[in-house]
Structure 1
Amino acid sequence: MGTNGSTMLKPLRQGLPPAGPSRVSSSASCSLTARFEAVRGARHFTKSTLHQWELSDRFDDVSLVVSELVTNALRHGLPDEPLDDTQHPPVRLHLLRWPGRLVCAVRDPSPETPGTPFDDDVPFPDPRGTAESGRGLFLVDSFSDSWGWHPLAGAMHGKVVWALFQLS
């Protein structure tokens, strides 16, 4: 993922049996272009990966979370100036499976904290349900078992936002 896996995944281990990076039973990742059409590609990639892992029954929840994480990365994680995404795609989706859990992680080049409310007068998420945006991380929180984010270290810049799904 471009960062020290033990640092990035440390919160994923809290309250769960050990699942260090060396115990990942399956992983897959794909690069996403800096266009909103990439969200559909991310869903397709997720569907085919979950099918290969015999987790198709989890597609609805996982796909919703992947869509929200990728949309947020494209909307809030990219710089204002155009990127040359042929050399280094700016957004990357990772799916990692351990026994008993699945992690969806999306990397983007922004160091900004995800989920910062855009309006200090309205709590996040908007309890009235009237905001036209800003519910993405609320959905991620609602459909996954936990989520978080980590800044990237070393030569990589930006962050990884992840969501954890416990598997039966």
Structure 2
Amino acid sequence: MLEPLRQGLPPLDLATVSSAASCALPSRLEAVREARQFTRMTLGQWDVGDRNDDVCLVVSELVTNALRHAMPCPTALADEQDPPVRLHLMRWTARLVCAVRDPSLEGPVAGDSEDFSAESGRGLFLVDSFADSWGWHPLAGTLTGKAVWALFQLPCAPVYAE
């Protein structure tokens, strides 16, 4: 169900982004709450229809995965000036992308799909269930690591006749 994990974003013209926001996240598990609050505040300013809860859930899962699995040692990185985990939100007219950047070169791995009663290991299954598509790709240029992204289709704004 989750293969292939390594896939690039579908074609999106970055020049047509109508809104964008990002925030650096400290390498502490409390950052998940901060990411959720940042997302809820940002989406409150954008018209994303009824996708707020879906996006916030997916952001929580992506940030949790980055902090748990992509950080060499969370306590060693907690005092860095430039936190290595970053959340990006980008909105187009009919699409929203949330992406979490982390320093790991390894792709995300889905947990055991057979045990849905487990307390952990279902994050990517939730992402797959609530986002319209998702994937990951290695970063290029001077950045190292990867970005794990999720795409949400948004309802088109109504057209009003005058």
Bin for the TM-score computed over the shorter chain: 0.7 to 0.9
Tell me, in whole angstroms, the C-alpha distance in 2 between the residues paired with 1:10 and 1:70.
19
- Alignment equivalent of 1:129, drawn from 110, 116, 122: 116
Is contact 2:89-2:96 (8 Å) kept? yes
Query: Aligned letter for 1:31?
Result: A
Which one-letter code corresponds to 1:75 in the other structure?
Answer: R
Aligned to 2:41: 48
Q: Which residue of 2 aligns with 1:153?
A: 140
Aligned to 2:99: 105
State the distance in 2 between where 1:149 and 1:85 align.
27
Give me the CA root mean square deviation.
1.8
Runs of 5+ in structure 1 lacking a partner? 1-8, 14-18, 118-123
1:153 Cα deviation from its structure 2 partner: 1.1
**Structure 1 equivalent of residue 60 of structure 2:** 67
In structure 1, C-alpha distance between the alignment counterparts of 2:55 and 2:147, rounded to whole Å: 17
- Structure 1 position 129, deviation (Å): 1.7
The DSSP-based 3-state class of the residue aligned with 2:140 is coil
Q: Which runs of 5+ in 2 are unaligned?
A: 1-6, 156-162
Mapped pair 1:162 → 2:156: no
Give the structure 1 partner of residue 4 of structure 2: none
Distance 1:10 1:141, change over 3 A: closer
Question: Match for 2:96: what amino acid?
Answer: L
Count of matched residue pairs:
148
Choose 78-87 or 56-65, whichever is displaced more. 78-87
Secondary structure of residue in 2 paired with 1:110 = coil
| 1:57 alignment partner, SS class | coil
The alpha-carbon deviation at position 55 of structure 1 amounts to 2.5
Do the aligned residues in 1 keep the contact of 2:32 with 2:63 (CA within 8 Å)?
yes
Query: Scaled by the length of structure 2, what TM-score is found?
Result: 0.84
Q: Kindly, what percent of the aligned residue pairs are identical?
A: 64
Is 1:21 the counterpart of 2:8? The answer is no
Are 1:88 and 2:75 matched, yes or no? no
